[in-house]
Structure 1
């Protein structure tokens, strides 16, 4: 109620009332039997747009009947329209083009050689199909049109992912076309149980969104929540999966992500066979995967493409990097400002001598250096690729060296900030690295005020917050809180060999949890 009152005061009660009273969509308008009347209404609705092609012709070789073919230039394969639509219709005999014998049915069943053909009897459906790239055919005397799937536009080819490096594994990534992305998943999972539910979201954009899951593995509770949240999205346009992510996530005020996004098909395929659900949005190569727990953001797909002992070692290093990226500057501030007795005397003397000429407190020194590095990182990302990486690396070296020579920062602080930056890049998921960068500044402030006690308070708060998070009903810290012994085979620290993973993760799957039979392992050992 308070939020509603605040919104009312901000935008005005009258505007909210008018917005709520406006109809979300106009009443359905059926097609007419008059071809010219239908074309007039289409031209009026589309405003005589230059990319809308309307081709009137006679269907049939001898007498023929008036017809019109409509498509959107740039979204339709004109060669396919000419060969599979125009040629069969214009060369058809009179027995196929006969109003007394249901022209549209005869044309659809006996003339058109194109695959996907659907009937349309309303203008709203016609506009949606036309603007999505379909080709529409209208006949004189028929109140039903035909929508043909002759879509064809320039699209980016399947290429290596740009944001997620692949050390060992498939070198293919998702594209901006939803059909291509679905095909990439079909290539990896050739199962009749794989289900794809298509819907459109966005009043103006009418963006295609696909819900992908494996029947019998995905939990009905997760599917039910996801369908409910997607159904209640009321927005004018959706251009990226991030728009969908903000609407369907469980907690909107948390720094930590509860929905995984990736442009690697192998990650989505692995998630599907674990019982999770994927959301593919047309126009973006980033696909969403739910539920997403803390362990999922700490794991890399490359962990499963190499030996278990190597993957375990890398995961241990990754966990150490996580804590260093989060705590290194704050621990340095706390020890040098409040707890000098914890340092050996030679080290303390060395640090004190190095900071003798620095005019700022340790917190200000660390804050300025961390802020400078964040600015360099963002500048490197926004600049052209040819110079962005060079600017970020050379800029950090030059500024760090210049700051030390000028006596503004100590050499030890440069080392701490550099170590923090390096460990941040070790985390495989950018979605998890960003919260760490934010929380790092908060912990620095707590350590500057209370020392190690402030860091302890911050860690306790973070752990309590993580324990309250849910991802579509699944506890965020599962399988550690609550503790699940069976899932420790593939957690943040360890990964056992693939042949020893008999069951799927209990954190997500609750039915059909058997991944492989134990007797296969015995046969393998005996052989």
Structure 2
């Protein structure tokens, strides 16, 4: 019994001592020794000791993560030139006065927690410690080498802003705020990853966002429990609704105008520090066939291009499968003249159409992956030349027919015409499933897999929002911006599933009348206005 109480007493003391270690020690020398030990005596952890009047202090920061100009001119120089206080004060009372009078930086923060101070040091902040007090001052001097703002590389803009996101979360937030001058644009930050402590920001427009969707985003982000989050793809995989699906349920983009447009519709943006790709939730299927340029051009042109993208997606999805089914099971559906030409080409090919298509598809996928991984100067050249040489050699060797080379080439080109890389990857994966079904059951197999895909799409959700909305369930007010785009004059409502708080874009009574009353403008009036000008 005595041993039990003895062990319990020892455990309580250990717990109390561990709790005290969470606080910053008041001894400056002990504090600096602990910092050196915790950081493994790393040479990039700079400890600058100095005297502030009668007090001993030290500034600790990480070389390479700070901007040398503000730390010299706004932190170290003012502290060294600080005049002694009129009367001596205890360090606990003197530190806040010194910080407010001498530190010429926009952001300072006081903390008593040792872990917060260490994380601030390795995160790019400078921390001021003073002897005799357990309080530290965290100053924002983040800087270092960063990539400048450039045009987005994966989403090229034909018409519209050319700016793209960078790896800096602060810069990305600023790019969005440049487009929305509204105090209702709110940002919530948190740290994700037990080891990396990656900064993640949740951005939305208060009053437009659905509180249910926002609450679900917060809940899923807080549940992330991993050692490290290195890119937004980690977050995307950890918070998506359905893991075992080839279709993306979260949008990723590196263009600020796309994020701005989605925020105005009531969506939530998730910005991860260290990556130029911002996540948008919730997502619906029709969004992956839309582009930012659709809203910068006329509605008829945008609608025609969207229809073309749907056709492109279908060709990249079932193009080879249709050829396999037609040549293997349904020759009667091919015109006689074309059937004779195809049969003559396949006369010397030793493989069935499915094996022939499989060989060519895998070859093109290898060439495409090689072109992506190789240096940009030769990557595209190798992929194009390799495809031409291998295709021509395969035809001459009698391994594949010329018609199959044409089908596979068209399929590869159409996969690049899809505006979203994520949905194009889905088509590339499902293409092989359709090919297998076509080789086994012909058009019946293609139809069966297609219906199963539609059922699967209708079963998906993105943060509680039906993936196929506004088509399934059908929402008449939102159909005007799906695979077609009505003129902006008729776009008065936000998507009903997103903007519950404020579903109206413009006032219902507002009319845009561009007609000119008869007789108002005549030659005399125009000449008079020209002379006055």
Measured against the shorter chain, the TM-score band is: over 0.9
Partner of 1:57: 50
Partners of 2:78 and 2:156 lie apart in 1 by 49
Residue in structure 2 matched with residue 310 of structure 1 by the alignment: 301
Gaps of 5+ in 1: 1-22
After superposition, the C-alpha distances for 1:122-152 in whole angstroms (9 at most, x for unaligned) are: 1101111111111011111111010100111
Secondary structure at the aligned position of 1:443 is classed as: helix
Deviation at 1:508, TM superposition (A): 2.3
Q: Does 1:87 align with 2:77?
A: yes
Per-residue deviation, 1:519: 4.3
> 1:38 corresponds to which residue?
31
Among 435, 442, 446, the alignment partner of 2:437 is 446
Distance 1:450 1:126, change over 3 A: same
User: Which residue in the other structure is 1:165 paired with?
Assistant: 156
Q: Which shows bigger deviation, 339-348 or 188-197? A: 339-348
Aligned to 1:512: 502
- Distance across 2 between alignment mates of 1:522 and 1:194: 28
Tell me how far apart the structure 2 counterparts of residues 437 and 526 of structure 1 sit (CA, whole Å).
Answer: 52
The reply on whether 1:497 has 2:497 as its aligned counterpart is no
Q: Quick one: distance in 1 between partners of 2:148 and 2:414? A: 33
Do the aligned partners of 1:97 and 1:107 also contact (CA within 8 Å) in 2?
Answer: no
Q: Deviations over 1:149-197 (max 9, x none)?
A: 0111110000000111111110010000000000000001111110100
2:203 is paired with a residue whose SS is strand
Cα shift at 1:100: 3.2
CA distance in 1, matches of 2:463, 2:383: 38
State the distance in 1 between where 2:176 and 2:87 align. Answer: 42
- Quote how far apart the aligned CAs of 1:385 are: 0.3
Q: How far apart in 1 are the matches of 2:497 and 2:139? A: 44
Is residue 431 of structure 1 aligned with residue 422 of structure 2? yes
1:264 has 2:264 as partner: no
Which of 264, 267, 292 does residue 273 from structure 1 map onto?
A: 264
Q: Deviations over 1:87-126 (max 9, x none)?
A: 1111111117843371111012222111100001011011
1:320 is matched with which residue? 311
Tell which deviates more after alignment, 442-451 or 482-491. 482-491
Indicate whether 1:392 and 2:383 are aligned: yes
Q: 1:120 to 1:96 in 2, by over 3 A?
A: farther
Distance in 2 separating the partners of 1:259 and 1:325: 22
Matched, 1:352 2:339: no
Contact 1:75 1:153 survives alignment (8 Å): yes
Q: How many residues align?
A: 499
| 1:331 lines up with 2:322 in the alignment | yes
Which of 184, 209, 212 lines up with 1:193 in the alignment?
184
**TM-score (norm: length of structure 1):** 0.93
CA distance in 2 between counterparts of 1:402 and 1:156 reads: 44
Deviation at 1:521, TM superposition (A): 3.2
Q: Give the Å deviation of 1:71.
A: 0.7
Any idea what SS the aligned residue of 2:364 has? Answer: helix
Residue deviations 1:270-295, cap 9 Å, x none? Answer: 00000000000000000000001101
Secondary structure of the residue aligned to 1:355 is: helix
Q: Structure 2: any 5+ residue segments left out of the alignment?
A: 1-14, 518-533
Q: Secondary structure at the match of 2:348?
A: coil
Does the 8 A contact of 1:65 with 1:97 survive in 2?
Answer: no
Shift of residue 230 of structure 1?
0.5
How far the C-alpha of 1:509 sits from its partner, in A, is: 2.0
Paired residue for 2:529?
none
Q: What SS does the aligned partner of 1:511 have?
A: coil
Answer with 514-523 or 325-334: which moved more: 514-523
The superposition leaves residues 364-418 of structure 1 with CA deviations (integer Å, 9 ceiling, x where unpaired) of 0011011111111000000000000011111111111111111111111111111
Deviations 1:305-337 (A, max 9, x none): 111111011011111111111111001100100
* 1:118 and 1:146 in contact (8 A); partners too: yes
Partner residue, 1:480: 471
- Structure 2 distance, partners of 1:90, 1:346, is 92
